[in-house]
Structure 1
């Protein structure tokens, strides 16, 4: 059995934010949570993507901390959350998120997710819609993509072949920080949006989270892709009001992959952000903050 690993505990936190940090025991792992303020608006659970952690939200949080309580956890094995040998499939991560809400004493929250966090967010809304007042999904296709849109865009996922396989993926993520830096630069519309300190932080964090990162992608191959091919999610309906934002120049999730959810959802809106790539919280934080204000009834700070 693989060893029980604590990820990120020996690295300093990124500075320059008003976040408060704590750790909660959830389903056999010590999960790290960064919280911003305690505004009077809807509490928001904000789920990061790959290859990031809670700090992915710092630009958006700077615009919202007076309106909402922002709860930004590190997913199991990422950032400063404890890593475990198993538990990186979507069903397990859904249970982690629901367990975290229970540990925080929150019955119902707003939900925001980016990239892998947005994929997890869709699954949360299908699994426990009563826990979420609304959902803002960023840079991620929904669970009902049209096959005619998926096939022409498979080439965009080329990089996953370097990550998903158990031996190769862990080696690349652990020992090739340049790969992480390349993905971050390549997947935005303008690489200048990243500061060097941010690139260094995410490269170091990804190296520390190599097991979790590889496992996340591999579990998607084992479970999620077969479920999509079988049409599993066509038997489920999205009842949580949802706003899906994509980048017009997203090199990972093409605009065509965002269409087609309407027959399976009660209330879903899709919008493209002009000139933006795959990292909307980094590239267009004000657009994300304004969308949060629109969806969760509290205007973004101006």
Structure 2
């Protein structure tokens, strides 16, 4: 199974498109009916990351899974990998699809983009799910975060070793190409409570786009834009989000830290920590995750 085989709850193949919005071709997949929910993946993933969750949401919502700028089958421009620009991509896609208002679900870097959508386009977003991420300008490098984090092993990505590595000029570009499968499969599984939940299908889908032209560049540019993201976000922190925000953490990774990230920047924050789960709840605990979303959206579990 690959991206183009993803289906809704009835087994119907999702509808795909790749329109030019905000000056870049963005690939999306859509299914279901009802109020729209836009799903934004993290790094180094694609919309395929959501394949287990999508059919659990489509009975209640029109679900739009997005390949963010530079990822999957979206266009890979040289620039524009700051979260404010990538948020503009999302809003332009919503315009193209005819959605005036919508819900955003983001995980990892998709959560950072989701926050930017909600913060810079406050009249468009009804609810925000901020999942398993530290917010640029608030989380990365924060002494408060470090003080809430237990001693970690050196290869643990919560130490942010990769942020330093990816920001070194030239060396990642020299060392990573040709080793995408080994590097990123270890990277992803090291962050999970249940690494078996990342199947060969998931790894194959990641490697497919990572090995294509511009894959490594895209990832590095996202991380290298972190300081710019923080500078852009800082003025927004002074005006807390007023929409409901759900902070979702995996017990074995960021956990309740996600709540700490959202409370300073949003007025109405609800928090859920998924037990027996690491950084990838969509793969590790999709049923519980979907129930959590639907309850937050106002749809009772099982309805």
TM-score (normalised: structure 2): 0.85
CA RMSD in angstroms, aligned pairs only: 2.4
Deviation by residue 1:7-62 (Cα, 9 ceiling, x = unmatched)? xxxxx74535332211111122111111123x23x210111101101111100012
Query: Structure 2 vs 1, CA of residues 155 and 294 (structure 1 numbering), >3 Å: closer, same or farther?
Result: closer
CA contact under 8 A between 2:106 and 2:114: conserved in structure 1? yes
1:102 lines up with 2:103 in the alignment: no
Aligned residue number for residue 19 of structure 2:
24
Q: What's the CA shift for 1:263?
A: 4.8
Query: Structure 2 vs 1, CA of residues 234 and 67 (structure 1 numbering), >3 Å: closer, same or farther?
Result: closer
CA contact under 8 A between 1:144 and 1:261: conserved in structure 2? no
Query: Structure 2 vs 1, CA of residues 156 and 288 (structure 1 numbering), >3 Å: closer, same or farther?
Result: same
Paired residues for 1:42-81 under 5 Å: 42-81=35-74
1: CA distance, partners of 2:296 / 2:111: 16
1:242 lines up with 2:232 in the alignment: no
1:215 aligns with one of 221, 237, 243:
221
> Relative CO higher for 1 or 2, CA cutoff 8 Å, sep ≥ 6?
1
1: CA distance, partners of 2:301 / 2:258: 28
Structure showing the higher helix proportion among its residues: 1
TM-score (normalised: structure 1): 0.85
Structure 2: which 5+ residue stretches go unaligned? 8-12, 150-156
Query: Structure 2 vs 1, CA of residues 194 and 103 (structure 1 numbering), >3 Å: closer, same or farther?
Result: same
Q: What's the CA shift for 1:171?
A: 3.9
1:82 lines up with 2:88 in the alignment: no
Aligned residue number for residue 262 of structure 1:
263
Q: What's the CA shift for 1:157?
A: 1.1
2: CA distance, partners of 1:78 / 1:275: 29
2: CA distance, partners of 1:170 / 1:15: 32
1: CA distance, partners of 2:261 / 2:132: 15
Q: What's the CA shift for 1:218?
A: 0.5
Aligned residue number for residue 5 of structure 2:
15
CA contact under 8 A between 2:210 and 2:216: conserved in structure 1? yes
2: CA distance, partners of 1:144 / 1:126: 14
CA contact under 8 A between 2:84 and 2:232: conserved in structure 1? no
SS of aligned partner of 2:192: coil
CA contact under 8 A between 2:237 and 2:264: conserved in structure 1? no
Query: Structure 2 vs 1, CA of residues 13 and 224 (structure 1 numbering), >3 Å: closer, same or farther?
Result: closer
Query: Structure 2 vs 1, CA of residues 257 and 172 (structure 1 numbering), >3 Å: closer, same or farther?
Result: farther
2: CA distance, partners of 1:151 / 1:227: 23
SS of aligned partner of 1:83: coil
2: CA distance, partners of 1:184 / 1:155: 12
Q: What's the CA shift for 1:66?
A: 1.6
Aligned residue number for residue 289 of structure 1:
290
CA contact under 8 A between 2:39 and 2:106: conserved in structure 1? yes
Query: Structure 2 vs 1, CA of residues 240 and 16 (structure 1 numbering), >3 Å: closer, same or farther?
Result: closer
Structure 1: which 5+ residue stretches go unaligned? 1-11
1:176 lines up with 2:166 in the alignment: no
Q: What's the CA shift for 1:84?
A: 0.6
1: CA distance, partners of 2:52 / 2:179: 27
1: CA distance, partners of 2:18 / 2:29: 9
Query: Structure 2 vs 1, CA of residues 144 and 45 (structure 1 numbering), >3 Å: closer, same or farther?
Result: same
